[in-house]
Amino acid sequence: MLRIGLTGGIGSGKSMVVARLAHCGAWIIDSDRIAREVVEFGTPGLRAVVDDFGDEVLAEDGTLNRSALAARVFDDAEARRRLNAIVHPLVAARSAELVAAAPPDAIVVHDVPLLVENDLAAQFPLVVVVYADAAVRLRRLVEQRGMAHPDAAARIAAQATDAQRQAVADVWLDNSAAAERTLAAVDRLWTQRLVPFETNLRHHSGAARAACPVVAAPDPTWPDQARRVIARITRVAGERAHRIDHIGSTAVPGLDAKDVLDVQVVVGDLGTTSHIADELITVGLVGQHGRWWDNARDGSVWDKAMATNADPARAVNCHIRTASSPAWREALLLRDWLRAHPSGAIDYAQLKHRLAAQQWENIDAYAHAKTPFVHGALDRAEQWAGRIGWQVA
């Protein structure tokens, strides 16, 4: 099973995308509909709302007067907090029931209009944002829904900004233009990403990787992508993680690299490493069985656990290391040294391109060929750390 979080601003065309995904075969969980159900006449949810906000939020027939309640909380942050404290747990419980009822091979799409506003993105292995330019959304609300221009503008302004949605978006569906283009993009998303993602998760299999290294130009979005991965890992690891960091070449601005996000989790003991690796399947990463280890510069060997991406479109290596291993500190030191020494980063990039042009049996052989450079860079990094007083942040 794969769970997707889907959101978008009012007037973005999110409902059209949801309908298309349902047509493809997705199992849809509509948070707005559930939020209405849990405060229907006679429910504990409605009683809790009335206890807090009074009988004035009821209609004459005893049902919830949604307009009155909306007017009560629209400009009152504390009132919204109290309402959310009532409704959100009920919605979460009902959503969990619907997920449990879904088939084991389901692609479950959670339609959550306020996913960003309620900080829910890290709950999902993948977040899809339906986007449309604010002017387009405003026109749609006025022309298609008959809303007054000031009311439509106020609704848009009250929601998350485009930048806030971009920060959580693994998939950005631009629905500003022709609907046919958007629907075609949804179909590609379904067949090329969602279906194989779900299959990999169900079989506890990491997504396939290229057999030979491909060194790419630096992507300025790598840090943002890593932050989304780290948020998900943090949700799983919790207090067991001493720290979680973006490491490796994609963490060095301007450095050519394989398009793989390396994330490091530092924990207390080896038993915890394997537990977390297995639990990360809930956020789209698959624990890799067998023995994994780091070779320290002094020749010692340190066991670790690994989890990799089930998502075919976002390669991730999650290294789960113990606090006693020197490898986690060396990973941070090398990253920071490369950030501070552009000439060293250039040398490293040139080496990568030379090695990538050769024939290798597998990626591990390519990585092993980089070891002399890495060890030499770490020697220089240690000297640099001593001179400037570098310490792990």
Domains in the chain (CATH in brackets) are 2-202 (3.40.50.300), 215-388 (3.30.460.10)
Model-level pTM greater than 0.85? yes
CB 175 within 8 A of CB 132: yes
- Residue 39 pLDDT more than 90? yes
Question: Would you state the pLDDT for residue 71?
Answer: 86
pLDDT of 76: 83
- Other beta carbons within 10 angstroms of residue 129's beta carbon come to 28
Task: State residue 298's pLDDT score.
Answer: 83
pLDDT, position 87:
93
Please tell me the predicted confidence (pLDDT) of residue 375.
93
164 pLDDT above the threshold of 90: yes
- Which H helix or E strand runs over 267? strand 260-267
DSSP secondary structure of 116-136: TTTT-GGGSSEEEEEE--HHH
Residue 70 predicted with pLDDT over 90: no
Q: Which residues pair with 108 in a beta bridge?
A: 3, 27
Angle at 279 between CA 328 and CA 292, to 5 degrees: 40
Q: What confidence score (pLDDT) does residue 381 get? A: 97
pLDDT per position as a tens digit, 322-334: 999 999 999 999 9
Mean pLDDT across the chain: 94
- Cα–Cα distance for residue pair 228/111, rounded to 1 Å: 19
- Cα distances (Å, whole numbers) of residue 257 to 171, 237, 325: 22, 27, 25
Q: Is the pLDDT of residue 364 over 90?
A: no
- CA 30 – CA 58 distance, rounded (Å): 24
- Is the confidence at residue 340, as pLDDT, over 90? yes
Predicted local confidence at residue 362, as pLDDT: 79
Confidence of residue 359 (pLDDT cuts 50, 70, 90): confident
Average pLDDT for 78-90: 92
- Are 11 and 146 contacting, i.e. CB atoms less than 8 angstroms apart? no
* pLDDT band, residue 5 (cuts 50/70/90): very high
